[in-house]
Chain A
Amino acid sequence: MSDREHDAAWTTVIRPTGHWFDLRLGELWSYRDLVLLFVRRDFVAQYKQTLLGPLWHVVQPLLTTVIFTIVFGRIARIPTDSLPPFLFYLSGNVLWGYFSSSFTKTSNTFVSHANVFGKVYFPRLAVPVSTLGTSLIGFAIQFTIFLGFLAWFVSRGAPVNPNAWVLATPVLVLLMAGLGLGGGVILSALTSRYRDLTNVVTFGVSLLMYMTPIVYPLSSVPEAYRPLVLANPVTPIVEAFRFAFLGVGTVNFSHLTYTAVFTAAVLFFGILLFHRIERTFMDTV
């Protein structure tokens, strides 16, 4: 028992509950190789033995955009802030695709990795973080497609004005990632206990899309509903993204600040909850 005082001399101390406010990010950092390998695994495995492979990343948003253009643009005639409908919907789809894929996939962390978690210890957070990375690759591909169409539309003299705000893109993507990870991680913690929440996720995300200016611009939202749409932290990101690349949108610093604070809070709370659940998750699967 003489060793007791020298806690530092021990590599690992296992206690019933960790400190609530310990994010354990250092440990995650030491497992960064694992995160990268998980990203690689998910990306490679996703498209092995498929017909189109990574082309799916291209087909999916393009097809969705075409449908949106027909349904919302031609049939429902929803205004698009005087932008070419195709570009308008594509920008929305590319961003939303990133958010919904990071969110839904991370929310599945515990359930889909129960087998590995039951056998070996590594920082569990490596799984959702790597999921984020995999989604980011998909986003990068789709974003490139978007840039290609943008260039084509610009060369055809369409009324779009990319401006200095494009430099903020990394920040917007980071905020989106933070929201997806934070929200997904909270849900993963909850679904590990209440399995029926899995259904709520898929369904909830598709509903949330309609609370986000994806198929309509914020400017066309009636005043009465605007607070509702603005309460959605994804809204300012989408609007800022559209403003940056297409030159039309409602960018507002206070809205973006709200998103940033919201993201930080969700991320912080999410990781804490995640650490809380991971300790005894194996007892409840």
Chain B
Amino acid sequence: MNVIQVEHLSKFYRLGVIGSATLREDVHRWLDHARGRAPTVSHDGRELRRGDHIWALRDVSFEVGQGEIVGIVGSNGAGKSTLLKILSRITAPTAGEVRLRGHVGSLLEVGTGFHPELTGRENIFLNGAILGMPRHETERKYDEIVEFSGVGKFIDTPVKRYSSGMRVRLAFAVAAHLEPEILLVDEVLAVGDAAFQKKCIGKMGEVARVGRTVLFVSHDMSAISALCERVILLDEGRIVADGDADATIETYLAGMNGSGPEFGEVIVTPAGTAGGEPITLHAVRTTDVDGRVRGDFRSAESIVVEFDFTRSEPIEFLRIGFELVSARGAIVFRTFHNDLSETLPSDPTGELERIQAVIPAGLLNGGVYQIRPCLRRHRRGSAWILRDAPGPSVSVRLNVPNPDYVTSKRVGAVAPMIEWKSP
């Protein structure tokens, strides 16, 4: 059974309206509206070109079944928060329709309407009512809420005397006892410290276990993939992917760096290295063992990571290396050229130098990884010369050598081929 049905939802914002609404403009809009014209072309189209209009959501349609936990991801301004605002009826859509079954609650409103002059007790009832909890239900859960909040001793003290931590705990206690059929969580807007956010996430899992539906907006891909089976990816107000969590997250992360990941070779622009340093990185590329530049590998192949650079003078304790970052943003490993022993001559010639690292076959799991080159001067304080620079991405398809057990992906950060024996 579907509990959320969103059809052709669009939301249109005029930018820069703050304080600039004029009666004349409104009258125009009104007349156009009366004639049944769309607001984009409301009067002269000039506005549109000036860029003071934005479609925060464009023709978004999806359905969510009961008990589903759906993650919503997308870069800033993709429309995630707008979507939640429409679902929670804070603002109305410009077009389209949403149908909901059951009460909607959201953890983005924690502490909303708390009045500093009122006591904890008074605020519990007020906050409960604001969040849509009938009075008798608040009464029934009152003891539980106080217990959960841990501020029992101060329940008759005005909230303005509470520490911010106490206030948040009390607010969360009320919100946590709401039991909405549909829970909306916008982690981006969520207040509070890490412990509190963790509590929110714990609450979401709990809510979902009893068959309630959760929509979860977050930038934290590990939280999303831990909680959600399904993820909707928004980009500039449109749904660009909707489906299996991991696949969608990968699509999202792959598209994060501008136009998408560069495979094979990345030419590092001079700006890539801090100016004035005696070392300049020119290119980073991935090749196979035969030296062919490639971006696609099977997990049973070794991946050669190659650095081209020049040094103008000797650099003491120089370390050249890279981090391999998974599509979820986790660092799989970091490695430096002199981890085992020094491999560079200490006196540079000023000519182009090349250095190679080999990622062994049978180590990586299937997925898209990015190589992030880093240059470091060891034992010289905070001595990063280059860090987190975008290098080439590699796409790895998992292949297990035993053809009886072909699999494309396996759980875990890595998928090493481990030798098994029966002694």
In the bound complex, do residue B26 and residue A193 qualify as a contact, i.e. CB atoms below 8 Å apart?
yes
Nearest CB in chain A to that of B92: its residue:
A279
In the bound complex, do residue B102 and residue A11 qualify as a contact, i.e. CB atoms below 8 Å apart?
yes
In the bound complex, do residue B100 and residue A116 qualify as a contact, i.e. CB atoms below 8 Å apart?
no
Q: Which of B93-109 contact A (CB under 8 A)?
A: 93-104, 106, 108-109
Interface-lining segment among B124-132, B312-320, B348-356: B124-132
- Check A14 for interface membership: any CB of B closer than 8 A: yes
Can you list 5 residue pairs at the A/B interface with Cβ under 8 Å? A11-B100, A41-B115, A119-B109, A119-B112, A280-B91
Q: How many residues of A contact B (CB 8 A)?
A: 40
In the bound complex, do residue B94 and residue A16 qualify as a contact, i.e. CB atoms below 8 Å apart?
yes
Question: Which residues of A are interface residues toward B (Cβ below 8 A)?
Answer: 3, 7, 9-17, 31, 33-34, 37-38, 40-41, 44-45, 48-49, 115-122, 193-195, 279-285
Q: Which chain B residues border A284 with CB–CB below 8 Å? A: 17-18, 21
Q: Which chain A residues border B118 with CB–CB below 8 Å? A: 41, 44-45
- Check B19 for interface membership: any CB of A closer than 8 A: yes
Q: Which chain A residues border B122 with CB–CB below 8 Å? A: 40-41, 44
Nearest CB in chain B to that of A12: its residue:
B100
In the bound complex, do residue A120 and residue B131 qualify as a contact, i.e. CB atoms below 8 Å apart?
yes
4 extra interface residue pairs, beta carbon distance < 8 Å, beyond A34-B130, A119-B90, A120-B112: A11-B100, A41-B118, A41-B126, A120-B90
Q: Tell me how far the C-beta of B341 lies from the nearest C-beta in chain A, rounded to whole angstroms.
A: 59
Q: Which chain A residues border B100 with CB–CB below 8 Å? A: 10-14
Whether A282 contacts B90 in the complex (CB less than 8 A), given A9-B101, A33-B134, A44-B117, comes out as: yes
Set A13, A48, A194: member contacting B158, Cβ < 8 A: A48
Q: Tell me how far the C-beta of B129 lies from the nearest C-beta in chain A, rounded to whole angstroms.
A: 4
Q: Which of B59-90 contact A (CB under 8 A)?
A: 85-90
| CA A5 to CA B100, docked complex, whole Å | 14
Q: Tell me how far the C-beta of A146 lies from the nearest C-beta in chain B, rounded to whole angstroms.
A: 29
In the bound complex, do residue B21 and residue A37 qualify as a contact, i.e. CB atoms below 8 Å apart?
no
Q: What 9 pairs between A and B have smallest CB-CB spacing?
A: A279-B92, A121-B89, A14-B98, A34-B129, A120-B109, A119-B109, A10-B99, A45-B117, A12-B100
Q: Which chain A residues border B86 with CB–CB below 8 Å? A: 14
| CA A54 to CA B135, docked complex, whole Å | 27
| CA A251 to CA B104, docked complex, whole Å | 52
In the bound complex, do residue B115 and residue A122 qualify as a contact, i.e. CB atoms below 8 Å apart?
no
Whether A116 contacts B130 in the complex (CB less than 8 A), given A12-B100, A14-B100, A195-B19, comes out as: yes
Q: Which chain A residues border B93 with CB–CB below 8 Å? A: 14-16
| CA A11 to CA B213, docked complex, whole Å | 15
**A-facing mask of B19-31, CB < 8 A → 1, else 0?**
1010100100000
In the bound complex, do residue A13 and residue B99 qualify as a contact, i.e. CB atoms below 8 Å apart?
yes
In the bound complex, do residue A120 and residue B88 qualify as a contact, i.e. CB atoms below 8 Å apart?
yes
In the bound complex, do residue B21 and residue A11 qualify as a contact, i.e. CB atoms below 8 Å apart?
no
In the bound complex, do residue B113 and residue A3 qualify as a contact, i.e. CB atoms below 8 Å apart?
no
Q: Which of B11-55 contact A (CB under 8 A)?
A: 13-14, 17-19, 21, 23, 26
In the bound complex, do residue B88 and residue A15 qualify as a contact, i.e. CB atoms below 8 Å apart?
no
| CA A84 to CA B53, docked complex, whole Å | 63
Q: Which chain B residues border A279 with CB–CB below 8 Å? A: 91-92
Nearest CB in chain B to that of A35: its residue:
B129
Whether A116 contacts B113 in the complex (CB less than 8 A), given A13-B98, A14-B98, A41-B118, comes out as: yes
- Check B5 for interface membership: any CB of A closer than 8 A: yes
Q: Which of B362-376 contact A (CB under 8 A)?
A: none
In the bound complex, do residue A118 and residue B89 qualify as a contact, i.e. CB atoms below 8 Å apart?
no
Nearest CB in chain B to that of A2: its residue:
B2
Q: Tell me how far the C-beta of A135 lies from the nearest C-beta in chain B, rounded to whole angstroms.
A: 18
Q: Which chain B residues border A49 with CB–CB below 8 Å? A: 117
In the bound complex, do residue B21 and residue A193 qualify as a contact, i.e. CB atoms below 8 Å apart?
yes
Q: Tell me how far the C-beta of B226 lies from the nearest C-beta in chain A, rounded to whole angstroms.
A: 26
In the bound complex, do residue A122 and residue B132 qualify as a contact, i.e. CB atoms below 8 Å apart?
yes
Q: Which chain B residues border A281 with CB–CB below 8 Å? A: 91
Q: Which chain B residues border A194 with CB–CB below 8 Å? A: 21, 23
Q: Which chain A residues border B14 with CB–CB below 8 Å? A: 283
| CA A207 to CA B101, docked complex, whole Å | 50
Q: Which chain B residues border A33 with CB–CB below 8 Å? A: 129, 134-135
In the bound complex, do residue B130 and residue A16 qualify as a contact, i.e. CB atoms below 8 Å apart?
no
| CA A119 to CA B135, docked complex, whole Å | 21
| CA A30 to CA B10, docked complex, whole Å | 30
Nearest CB in chain A to that of B21: its residue:
A193
Nearest CB in chain B to that of A279: its residue:
B92
Q: Tell me how far the C-beta of B28 lies from the nearest C-beta in chain A, rounded to whole angstroms.
A: 14
Nearest CB in chain A to that of B85: its residue:
A282
| CA A116 to CA B110, docked complex, whole Å | 11
| CA A118 to CA B100, docked complex, whole Å | 20
In the bound complex, do residue B97 and residue A37 qualify as a contact, i.e. CB atoms below 8 Å apart?
no
In the bound complex, do residue A120 and residue B106 qualify as a contact, i.e. CB atoms below 8 Å apart?
yes
